[in-house]
Structure 1
């Protein structure tokens, strides 16, 4: 049936428009842009960029001193290491100073430094009483033996340190070593303070008996028991033990490291001011080895030092050393280390080498010009 009065063309014209409207109504509107987030962190003024600090410039050492030290080292018949360091400016000259050399009694310096470091930390008092008895005796040089009565020698650890440094007493040094905690405590101090290639041995009795090819026995400390036992050994055994020691010394240290440590000690970088003054003053009172470094001083110059002397075998001397701080009348100081690992040269020749190193430093001093000085600690 047909509907009357309705045109078929009109609905066809409106259909597309109607569908478009419906479609637009079904499409979700685009979301509005989110508001910008405001930082809760306060923003200050722009920070200026800081350039890294330049490394300190270490001046060149005097050329004449470099040449003289090289000549002294090269002309000496034996294995020697030499190092000189200006305490104030840091320049250094050296000869064969990177090779570890036997320290012998130079190592007493590190024992005393470990003791004073413990004093600074409040774990040891130099006024603490102690008695040296016969069963405490060790080997070789022991002036404290003559101070002992029937009940031993009653003293303090401070006095033991003074005897060990100024008279190089082995027994006093070993008693200090035990009190501070043994060889590991000294090694720990050396590592903690960054002293470089400085090894520390097992103590006088084990060190000296090992060098000789012996195993330590307590009876060796009585009289000349050690020397008698050593002399009874076959020469080949002693030679083999000595060769092992010189090839890799248990107490080996480089002249370079020792001079560097002495310079830092003088600058007050290793101990408290009071302990620094005490150690340097005590080293200054030492009169061991008067013909070594001390013989090269000019009038008005001073020396705070520690010597070392090792065993000899078949005319070969080992561990003949002297290290210290020399100070000019104007206050400028130099750390000096002369380490003779081995030589067949007689004692006067060894001593002259050491004195000549100091003479070379003294001679170059007037050519250095003005520079900051480190006051005596």
Structure 2
């Protein structure tokens, strides 16, 4: 018997009730959420790692939360935190001028609005590079900021210093673009990622000014509108960072989204969703992330 149509129907029925995690008479149990995560994994046609943490209670629900997944551009989040940490220390300044040359640019196969708009190079500010990296996921801006902060491994050391040991930044964007296997060295677990987001949210790592700056950039990003935000009402605010790889031979190594969701009443949760080595199409991969977010938010909104 072919079970695929049956599974598809079950998945549709289950997630149809998840699309709006608003105040309703229907609530979910932890078991319901775990089942939703399992169905999302099946839907992904690949691997899924996800975690959601309620900042108020500390409660966390995950699937494969301690397994490492390739971050792709999610790794720009810890890089941005390190940049702003150095701004807070006075090592770097937001208004300092930085000369960017064509030699700094990632390949044309990689995303870089900076390169596309200024092919001959440009002198710009550190703040502009930060906004390009964290807001528009610009690979060239990322590599320049990595250089200014001591390279990828300096970011990894910074993460260890603040207690984040399962998020690894080891390569530049250029290196990842030159060899797709390199992305698998730059990994994070979902549980470690929501822990990092909690550290950011609580202001333990950055000044209030720097924290607000980064969260504002992440809230206004145009990337990934159908991922975490895909099935949430507009009354929920989402500060997030996406990560995406190319599709090779029908397999997409990374479709990710991580961030902080703020409820209308001011409560907040951290969420990290990594979809890895998926054979599903782009819309389905995005919906997998949206399904995880919707199920988790419906559960936590009833608390």
Q: Where does residue 147 of structure 1 map in the other structure? A: 117
Contact 2:251-2:278 within 8 A present in 1 as well: yes
Counterpart-to-counterpart distance in 2, 1:326 and 1:289: 14
Match of 2:52 among 84, 87, 90: 84
Q: Where does residue 307 of structure 1 map in the other structure? A: 242
Instruction: Report the CA distance between 1:62 and its aligned residue.
Output: 4.2
Contact 1:101-1:252 within 8 A present in 2 as well: yes
Q: Where does residue 261 of structure 2 map in the other structure? A: 326
Contact 1:201-1:207 within 8 A present in 2 as well: no
Q: Spell out, residue by residue over 1:133-186, the C-alpha distance to the aligned partner (whole angstroms, 9 max, x if none).
A: 212111210101233275x32210011000111111000010011011111210
Q: How does 1:201-280 map to 2 (within 5 A)?
A: 201-211=170-180, 242=181, 249-280=184-215
CA RMSD after TM alignment: 1.7
Match of 2:61 among 82, 89, 93: 93
Q: Where does residue 166 of structure 1 map in the other structure? A: 135
Counterpart-to-counterpart distance in 2, 1:75 and 1:147: 38
Q: Where does residue 154 of structure 2 map in the other structure? A: 185
Structure 2: which 5+ residue stretches go unaligned?
1-28
Counterpart-to-counterpart distance in 2, 1:192 and 1:176: 19
Instruction: Report the CA distance between 1:330 and its aligned residue.
Output: 0.4
Per chain length, whose mean CA-contact separation is higher, i.e. which structure has more relative contact order (CA < 8 Å, sep 6+)? 2
Q: Where does residue 53 of structure 1 map in the other structure? A: none
Structure 1: which 5+ residue stretches go unaligned?
1-60, 212-241, 369-377
Q: Where does residue 97 of structure 2 map in the other structure? A: 129
Counterpart-to-counterpart distance in 2, 1:325 and 1:117: 19
Contact 1:296-1:357 within 8 A present in 2 as well: no
Counterpart-to-counterpart distance in 1, 2:146 and 2:301: 41
CA change 1:74–1:274 in 2 (3 A) is same
Counterpart-to-counterpart distance in 1, 2:264 and 2:197: 19
Q: How does 1:285-364 map to 2 (within 5 A)?
A: 285-364=220-299
More strand, by proportion: 2
Counterpart-to-counterpart distance in 1, 2:160 and 2:101: 32
Q: Spell out, residue by residue over 1:86-121, the C-alpha distance to the aligned partner (whole angstroms, 9 max, x if none).
A: 112111000111111000100011111111111111
Contact 2:167-2:188 within 8 A present in 1 as well: yes
Q: Spell out, residue by residue over 1:336-367, the C-alpha distance to the aligned partner (whole angstroms, 9 max, x if none).
A: 11101211110111011111112112322342
Contact 1:112-1:161 within 8 A present in 2 as well: yes
Match of 1:101, SS state, is strand
Instruction: Report the CA distance between 1:311 and its aligned residue.
Output: 2.8
Counterpart-to-counterpart distance in 2, 1:123 and 1:314: 44
- Structure showing greater radius of gyration is 1
Q: Where does residue 20 of structure 2 map in the other structure? A: none
Match of 1:119 among 87, 99, 110: 87
Contact 1:86-1:333 within 8 A present in 2 as well: yes
Equivalent residue pairs, number: 273
CA change 1:255–1:172 in 2 (3 A) is same
Counterpart-to-counterpart distance in 2, 1:204 and 1:145: 13
Q: Spell out, residue by residue over 1:217-276, the C-alpha distance to the aligned partner (whole angstroms, 9 max, x if none).
A: xxxxxxxxxxxxxxxxxxxxxxxxx4xx58xx2101111111111122112122111111
